[in-house]
Each structure stands twice: as C-alpha cells, then as structure tokens.
Amino acid sequence: DVLAARRASLGDGDPETLTTVSNLATCLHVQGSLREAEELYREAWRGRRELLGEQHPDTLRIVNKLAALLHASGALDEAEELYCAALLGRTEALGPEHPDTLRTQGNLSVFLSSTGRRQPARCPDAVGVLAAALGTAASGATVTPCEAPRAAGPRPSSDRDLALLGTGAPNAPRCAWEETTSGGAVISVQM
C-alpha cells in the first residue's frame, strides 16, 4: 500500500507522506468511511501544523476538508469551528478574493443553510468576513442562509458566485449543494 511505503521510506512527518494521508482521507470520505477518513484528516492536520504552521494554506486546506467531513458526520459544533478557522485563516493568509477563501465562504454558507443556523455562533468574526464579502456592514451583520438545499442545478460561473450564495445578498438565487469527490461542497444555482 502506498501510504505504508511512504511512511517506511520518508517517515510520518514528510510532506509527501502527509499529502498521501490527506489524499487517502479524501478517498475514504467519498466512499463513506467517515471514521477512518476523520482519523487520517486529523493526522494530516497535526502534521501540517507541525511542519508548516497553523495559517499555512496547506494546513487550512486540511481544516476545510475536516470541517466538511464533520458536517457530513453530524459533528456540527466542531464543523462550524473548523469552517470558521479555515475562513478566517484563508482570508488572512490568502486575501478575501482568493479562490480558496471564496470556496470556504461558500462552504460556511452551505453549512449555515443546511443546519438552519442564521450566523456562525462559534466564531462571530466570520460574520464580519462574510458580510465584507458581500459589501455589507460588518458590525452587527447577520448572515442569512439561503433556502433549504434543493436538487442540484447549473453550477455557478465563478468562486465569487459560490461565496454569494446562501448569504442573504439582495436577489440572491436559491441554492443547492452536493458533496464532491474532494470532500467539499458544490453549490448549484437555481434560477
């Protein structure tokens, strides 16, 4: 098995080994083996934090994937915390317009919508980030999720469209979401 070979030849903390751990976690997540995938995502997260630091884009990618898995498995409070950490970290490290930041905004919006939450209770700073993405006042802003997910429709044309869906933007379309092979979520527009 590839992971065992990487561990034997490169060691557990090697960047290539950690990439293999993360890739295997994603495969297991897609196959529905959530417990095994969670263990591997957590291992990859620990390794990336030790190797690259908490705010490195590769570390934050694992945080976002783990949040998606926890969301799917029903660990909603931790999923929310991790989505928020990924969003705040990516906004700081990559900027508010970076595609990874916009994807995380979309993921958090989908999370809020699918759980019926109006705003992230565990990370009020994320409300400001989401509000700023929409060009609304950050202080006291409430992020309003879109209507309950529906059957998938055509995909948004840009990452910016993904971020705007489900956040209460004026005339925002209803949205739907589905799990992807990368462990994230795709939001689809319904006109």
Q: What is the pLDDT of residues 88-118, one digit of tens each?
A: 999 999 998 899 998 998 888 888 888 887 7
Does residue 191 carry a pLDDT above 50? no
Cβ neighbours of 42 (radius 10 Å)? 15
Considering the entire predicted model, what is its pTM? Answer: 0.69
| Structure confidence at residue 115 (pLDDT) | 87
pLDDT at 163: 42
Q: Is the confidence at residue 120, as pLDDT, over 70?
A: yes
Mean residue pLDDT across the chain:
74
Kindly tell me if the per-residue pLDDT of 55 is higher than 60: yes
Give the containing element (helix H, strand E) for 51.
Answer: helix 34-52
Of the listed ranges 1-10, 13-22, 31-40, 150-159, the one predicted with least confidence: 150-159
Look at the block and give the residue holding tokens 């589905």.
Answer: 178
Q: How many helices (H) and strands (E) does the chain have?
A: 8, 2
Measured between alpha carbons, how far is residue 81 from residues 20, 26, 46 in Å?
A: 25, 20, 16
Q: Which amino acid is at 10?
A: L
| Mean pLDDT of the region 58-68 | 96
Look at residue 181 and tell me whether its pLDDT is greater than 60.
Answer: no
Top pLDDT among 39 and 180 is at 39
Residue 29 pLDDT greater than 70, yes or no: yes
What pLDDT, on a 0 to 100 scale, did the predictor assign at position 117?
78
Listed in sequence order, the residues at least 6 apart from 16 whose beta carbon sits closer than 8 Å to its beta carbon are 6, 10
| Pure H helices in 53-166 | 57-73, 76-94, 99-115, 124-134, 159-164
Q: How confident is the model at residue 133 (pLDDT cuts 50, 70, 90)?
A: low
Of the spans 92-96, 128-132, 154-158, which averages the highest pLDDT?
A: 92-96
Q: In angstroms, rounded to a whole number, what is the distance separating the alpha carbons of residues 139 and 132?
A: 10
Average pLDDT on 131-153 reads 42
pLDDT computed for residue 128 by the predictor? 66
